[in-house]
Structure 1
Amino acid sequence: MYKDMSVGYKLLLDMEEFTFNLAERQQSNETFDWININFMSNYGMYPLLPLKVHYDTESRKFDVLLSTSGKVLGNSDVVDIKNLTRDFKIERDEEVKQIEDEFELAVSFESNLTMHAKRRNQTEQLSLAEFYLQHKEDALNWTRYFEVAFNGSARNDWLIQNTIANVDPLVNFLQKTELETLRNYVKWRTIVKFYYIWKYEVSDKSVESSCREHTGQYFNYALLPWFIDNVYDADRRADILQLAKHIKETFYELLDKYTWLDDETRSHAKTKLRAMDITVGYSDEMRHRDIIDKVYEDVEIGDNWYRNLQAVERNRARVRMRSVNKAIIPPLMSTRDVNAYYADFLNLVFIGIGISQAPFYHYKYPPSIKFSGIGNIIGHEMAHGFDSYCYQFNYDGKKMNWWTEASLRNFKERYRCMESQYNKYIFHGVLTNGTLTSGDNIADNVGTRISYQAYLNSYGKLDGDKKPIPGLELTNKQLYFLKFAQTWCTGKDDASKVRKMKTDVHAYEEFRVIGTLQNMPEFSEVFKCKLGADMNPLKKCVIW
């Protein structure tokens, strides 16, 4: 059944929104029109006059985005009706002909639909109350539009982001179109939405792989308690948070030593660093069972994969539509992802559970390897808050200038030194793009320096020269740098590395190591590199 897409197709066709009698509905409800058709989908897709609940990075809340319709069904590179009918096991000639005719009608309608709404040059941002006043002369009854969309729960203080220049031509077109044509279009948009998902899932992937991906995608919050109980207990989280505390305090102290900063800018930098949140693994509120239960309260899982997929897609759309004006940090990363990030709009560092495991971290690692492993990742993400892009954001995640002219000039001179350095690295005849990789080059350099200094401040002065691993004649200080280099030993083939170099915002792995260590006198001191040697050049690019 899992590989038989005809099962899912029949389930979609049996949905009430595609089977109810339009004539009866219009007779019983005189206001039933294209707006009702637009919002009849249970899967967060409203294609006639699109509405989307999305996370706004400035307000740090979910708001409502109004946009123009896009070309989906008419994209022949994406939708091939012959493959679709084959995958749905539709073989009778008359049935194939009926579907092709339906689809052709939907494509033709979409072509007209996309012609009747133009985008604004600049997005209009208003509260819903202000939006009603601003657009009271429109051909559309916006009050009814939002009432239908949100089942009467829309509030006047909601933020509306409108990208539509003039809604009148679109409304006039929709009012003149037969409701059956509109329903046919929504129906095919729904079918194609699920066809994309099904086609990807039933390719050459195993059932186990597919189920694992779906569990991570749709049940990210529900997985947290299991990960916490089995692989990420309170002691491990507390240990990493303590590392983060040492690194943040060290960075704060180092800010006083940068002579290229004037006092005014230094004060703002300290304020931003002090306000920076560091979340490790999960936010505390997500440990509460009632919050997680609320997210999944409407989900019923049975033994039909296609019906289950509809249920979780429907639930995700429901949760999103109920999220307007709520300051919830969205699940930007799956629980099992081996990754971390810095969110400029939140001034937040997040270290995932997946990356807080070996080889980056183990509770019993010596401090030198903890600081060089997960500590380096923490320092890297903190440093992103002060890189060649995120320097524009203040302590509250707002994009604004907090630099004096002199300090900003000094900062740009320093990171351009690093851009020039990385522009000189060549791999198989391909130059590294030091401008493209600037942000992560800064984060690599700064993160390594501050995490090393944090190690020295907290442990290194006592055990830095000890040799903790039997049979390995390396001190803790040397192990720190060895572990840092080991992090970027990926073992990928040369062809993939060359392709990646042209588009990746990270430098090629070898240069991430060499570039960082060439700029660190601490490395040269530990390994006794002569001044002027390749790994101890006379000119070093140091920013923070």
Structure 2
Amino acid sequence: HRIPAVFGFGANQDVKDSTQIIAQVVQGGLGLPDRDYYTNDDAKSKATRDEYVGHVARTFELMGDAADRAAAEAKTVLAIETKLAENSLTRVQRRNPEANYHPMIKTQLLEMTPDFDWGRYFRNIGMPEIGKVNVGQPSFFKAADKILTGTPIADWKTYLRWHLVNAASNTLSSKFVQENFNFNGKYLQGTTEMLPRWRRCIASTDRALGEALGQLYVARTFPPEARARARAMVANLIAALQEDLTTLSWMSDETRKRAISKLNAYIKKIGYPDKWRDYEALQISRGAYYNNLVSAGEFEFKRNLGKIGKPVDKTEWGMSPPTVNAYYNPQFNEIVFPAGILQPPFYDPKADDAFNYGGIGAVIGHEMTHGFDDQGAKFDANGNLVMWWTPDDFKKFSERTNCVVNQFSSYEVEPGLHQKGELVVGESVADLGGLTVAYAAYQKSLESKPRPKDINGFTAEQRFFLGWAQVWAQNIRPEAARLRNATDPHPLARFRVNGPLSNMPAFAQAYQCKEGDPMVRVSEKRCQIW
């Protein structure tokens, strides 16, 4: 149950009753990053499958198997995973919350998969009494049930043996670590050098003991005044979005009222939790690294299952304080900004307001407008999956988000490979909305103040957009770009900058761009939501 074989199981909020936690099962069981790696017929996908089979075979050899046996076992693994992949939903299909909600009781589970003993499975994981279970993808489980009985037991043993060692590879001896890096790092992402051990150890500690490590991180790097500054900026951004909603021309008063109500209900979490997680039950020893990670996995699995059947704890955080990221959770209706992101390049206490509003301000606006993207718009102020828009308003909203889909689908990752607009639409809508709201908030902050002086030859308006661009300035290898394009709901960084900015008249005005310039979209293709 701690190994990602065939399917995933755990606790999840009931999307139709946001006060309760229920059990959930979802499709899984693949060793490659996405089901498309198994189903696509292009030359690159075929080459990747061949490399994967070689990687699996070499790992079996490291476990002591003869080369010919290892090669046969690798082909067996690919065959089973391909069958699972062929019956898996795509990432775009899984973006639809309604498509992933199929609550069932145990008798319905047994009817769906008559050859899988759910009762035995639940007993073995220490959950003999399970009431309601959400089945994320019923079609996958029906197919997996047939694959279960149609595949020899010996092949299943090979498959499970692979997934056990694959999940543990980074904790084993150096040959396993290197083989894992050679495929998942070098081949899939183009990474030329493994991170030094100390960095890998910090990341591992953060995953296993995030809030224990977070307490030390916060004490050293995040003083109370930093939290206060972040809270003030969040309040300014919320006020700007509320003002925008109040004047939005395409939204009816009925939907507008509910949208403002949802915005005002946002839970705002800044820096670190007010209640820290208790790790007393987690046993860590000076023995084998593998054993400690197994112990951490068991601790987290039990902690997760312990939520099932209980009320939701809305004080819980989904990221550790040192994490350089942020998120919006539609089921909590919350925006969360860990301490890790409240530092350069996102936020610099020594920089001017324009630069910071373009950086962390736009990130705050991004998370806020996630509450109104193609997914977040389907959840109400209480976090329930319910349609609260009028049909006409939602139609107008969908037309505007489709503009973003089409814009990003036109971008080429490399010749012949386009960004997947339907996959990245949520993040792209949030980028455009976040920048729009942050710019409005910055302009409002200047009221009754003297105009800021130019810095290094750039006006305040120009520096706002430079703040956003600096956040996403990066180098990326072609292999990593291809991987992200296949799996990541975020667009590539260069598109996150040029995409939304080319839709904004404020950017064109700041840099004196005109119609026909590359960074000015023609009026009939310009996307505007907020």
Determine the structure 2 residue equivalent to 1:23.
Answer: none
Contact 2:327 2:337 in 1 (8 A): yes
Determine the structure 2 residue equivalent to 1:10.
Answer: none
Query: Counterpart amino acid of 2:278?
Result: I
Cα offset, 1:502, TM superposition: 7.0
Determine the structure 2 residue equivalent to 1:235.
Answer: 225
What do the CA deviations read for 1:392-426 (whole angstroms, capped 9, x no partner)? 22223333222223222322333334444555556
What do the CA deviations read for 1:414-447 (whole angstroms, capped 9, x no partner)? 3334444555556765565554443333222211
- Within 5 A, what are the aligned runs for 1:374-413? 374-413=360-399
Query: Counterpart amino acid of 1:312?
Result: A
SS at match of 2:133: strand
What do the CA deviations read for 1:22-58 (whole angstroms, capped 9, x no partner)? xxxxxxxxxxxxxxxxxxxxx74698x9893332451
Determine the structure 2 residue equivalent to 1:55.
Answer: 12
- Within 5 A, what are the aligned runs for 1:76-115? 83=58, 87-88=62-63
2: distance between equivalents of 1:515 and 1:69?
Answer: 33
Contact 2:122 2:128 in 1 (8 A): yes
Contact 2:4 2:29 in 1 (8 A): no
Contact 1:463 1:476 in 2 (8 A): no
2: distance between equivalents of 1:493 and 1:168?
Answer: 40
2:288 equivalent to 1:304: yes
Describe the shift of the 1:191–1:235 C-alpha distance in structure 2 as closer, same or farther (beyond 3 A): same
2:257 equivalent to 1:270: no
What do the CA deviations read for 1:51-102 (whole angstroms, capped 9, x no partner)? 9333245155543346899799xx99679997567535x6xxxxx79xx99x
Describe the shift of the 1:170–1:422 C-alpha distance in structure 2 as closer, same or farther (beyond 3 A): closer
Determine the structure 1 residue equivalent to 2:446.
Answer: 460
Contact 1:65 1:161 in 2 (8 A): yes
Structure 2 gaps, min length 5: 32-48, 89-98, 182-193
Query: Counterpart amino acid of 2:261?
Result: T
**Could you tell me which of 289, 302, 325 is aligned with 1:318?**
302
Give the aligned CA root-mean-square deviation in angstroms.
Answer: 5.1
Determine the structure 1 residue equivalent to 2:35.
Answer: none
Contact 1:301 1:308 in 2 (8 A): yes
- Within 5 A, what are the aligned runs for 1:280-295? 280-286=270-276, 291-294=277-280
SS at match of 1:52: strand
> When the two structures are superposed, what TM-score results if normalisation uses the length of structure 1?
0.68
Determine the structure 1 residue equivalent to 2:103.
Answer: 125
2:234 equivalent to 1:244: yes
Describe the shift of the 1:298–1:219 C-alpha distance in structure 2 as closer, same or farther (beyond 3 A): closer
Range with bigger deviation, 204-213 or 384-393: 204-213
Range with bigger deviation, 482-491 or 519-528: 519-528
Range with bigger deviation, 79-88 or 353-362: 79-88
Query: Counterpart amino acid of 1:53?
Result: G
2: distance between equivalents of 1:338 and 1:144?
Answer: 41
Cα offset, 1:215, TM superposition: 0.8
2: distance between equivalents of 1:211 and 1:368?
Answer: 37
SS at match of 2:278: helix
Determine the structure 2 residue equivalent to 1:194.
Answer: 168
Determine the structure 2 residue equivalent to 1:255.
Answer: 245
SS at match of 2:446: helix
Query: Counterpart amino acid of 2:386?
Result: M
What do the CA deviations read for 1:75-132 (whole angstroms, capped 9, x no partner)? 99679997567535x6xxxxx79xx99x99xx99xx9xx99xx99x99863567x889
> When the two structures are superposed, what TM-score results if normalisation uses the length of structure 2?
0.70
Query: Counterpart amino acid of 1:487?
Result: V
Determine the structure 1 residue equivalent to 2:476.
Answer: 492
2: distance between equivalents of 1:223 and 1:474?
Answer: 40
Query: Counterpart amino acid of 2:133?
Result: I
Describe the shift of the 1:461–1:493 C-alpha distance in structure 2 as closer, same or farther (beyond 3 A): farther
- Within 5 A, what are the aligned runs for 1:104-253? 125-126=103-104, 149-150=125-126, 158-161=131-134, 193-195=167-169, 197-198=171-172, 201=177, 203=179, 205=194, 206-253=196-243
Determine the structure 2 residue equivalent to 1:480.
Answer: 464
What do the CA deviations read for 1:129-188 (whole angstroms, capped 9, x no partner)? x889x99xx9999888756643xx7567x4334667799999999xxx9xxxx9999999
Contact 1:265 1:403 in 2 (8 A): yes
What do the CA deviations read for 1:298-340 (whole angstroms, capped 9, x no partner)? 3132143333333323333333343323425776445443222
SS at match of 2:351: coil
2: distance between equivalents of 1:427 and 1:279?
Answer: 35
Query: Counterpart amino acid of 1:282?
Result: Y
Range with bigger deviation, 321-330 or 399-408: 321-330
Name the structure, 1 or 2, with higher relative contact order (CA <8 Å, separation 6+).
Answer: 2
Determine the structure 2 residue equivalent to 1:513.
Answer: 497
2: distance between equivalents of 1:167 and 1:441?
Answer: 34
Query: Counterpart amino acid of 1:445?
Result: L
Query: Counterpart amino acid of 1:52?
Result: F
Structure possessing the higher radius of gyration over alpha carbons: 1
State how many pairs are aligned: 469
2:496 equivalent to 1:522: no
2: distance between equivalents of 1:53 and 1:499?
Answer: 27
Range with bigger deviation, 402-411 or 201-210: 201-210
SS at match of 2:12: strand
Contact 2:214 2:320 in 1 (8 A): no
Cα offset, 1:217, TM superposition: 1.8
Determine the structure 1 residue equivalent to 2:437.
Answer: 450
Cα offset, 1:196, TM superposition: 7.0
- Within 5 A, what are the aligned runs for 1:323-334? 323-326=307-310, 327-328=312-313, 332-334=318-320
2:362 equivalent to 1:372: no
What percent of counterpart residues are identical? 24
Describe the shift of the 1:255–1:81 C-alpha distance in structure 2 as closer, same or farther (beyond 3 A): closer
Range with bigger deviation, 488-497 or 391-400: 488-497
